[in-house]
Amino acid sequence: MNDDAGNPKQKSTVPGQYGYYSGIAYLNGYYSNSFTLSPYTAVIFTGNATTSASTNAAYNGGTTPEWAYGNAYLTGSIGDGNNSSSGTASFSAYSDNYSGSAYAQSGLLFVTLANSTGNSLDGSLYGYAQSYGYSYAAAVPEPETYAMMLAGLGAVGFVARRRQRRG
């Protein structure tokens, strides 16, 4: 995933820490798309979109839980200061690891704009789909922990073998 400037956004890889991630895709570029609407006409902008959110780490009760969010958004407007028309459509999906569920939403986004004047009106259309969230990097045991575990297993094995020889 990349941030708004195209730079990679990464989750934390340090055990026990949280990291934020995000990604966004714009409709035809970052800025709005311009158009001119003829007198006494209407236009309908439509687009299919799907967004989903899920978490995969279990909430341990002692730290902030993971969460994920995805949404799709489309908005348009026309006007000359005296006459205007605008519309917005959006939907979203949210998940956190309290419930451990994944959510998805998909559908048709549509915006209708109408020019009821005898003049052409300039307009703009803007849309995006994005996802972002907060994720927890699971703790990984240190090498010393593994060494102590192996030493403990060796000691238990030594004692068990010694008892077997005596008996």
Residues 164 and 102 in one domain: no
Residue 4 domain-assigned (yes or no): no
Domain that holds residue 105: 18-136
Q: How many domains does the chain have?
A: 2
Residues 132 and 147 in one domain: no
Residues 91 and 162 in one domain: no
Residues 58 and 37 in one domain: yes
- Each residue of 81-123: pLDDT tens digit? 788 888 888 888 777 766 556 777 888 888 999 999 999 999 9
Distance from C-alpha of 30 to C-alpha of 88, rounded to nearest angstrom: 17
Q: Would you state the pLDDT for residue 1?
A: 41
Residues 161 and 107 in one domain: no
Residues 42 and 103 in one domain: yes
Residue 5 domain-assigned (yes or no): no
136 pLDDT band, cuts 50/70/90, is low
Average pLDDT, the chain: 76
Residue 157 domain-assigned (yes or no): yes
Q: What is the pTM of this model?
A: 0.63
SS (H, E, C) the chain: CECCCCCECCCCCCCCCEEEEEEEEECCCCCCEEEEECCCEEEEEEEEEEEEECCCCCCCCCCCCCEEEEEEEEEEEEECCCCEEEEEEEEEEEEECCCCCCEEEEEEEEEEEEECCCCCEEEEEEEEEEEEEEEECCCCCCHHHHHHHHHHHHHHHHHHHHHHHHC
State both tokens at 113. Answer: 């704009």
Q: Would you state the pLDDT for residue 24?
A: 82
- Each residue of 33-68: pLDDT tens digit? 899 999 999 999 988 888 877 766 555 555 556 778
Residue 11 domain-assigned (yes or no): no
Residue 6 domain-assigned (yes or no): no
13 pLDDT band, cuts 50/70/90, is low
Residue 147 domain-assigned (yes or no): yes
* Strand partners for 89: 74
Residue 2 domain-assigned (yes or no): no
Residues 148 and 92 in one domain: no
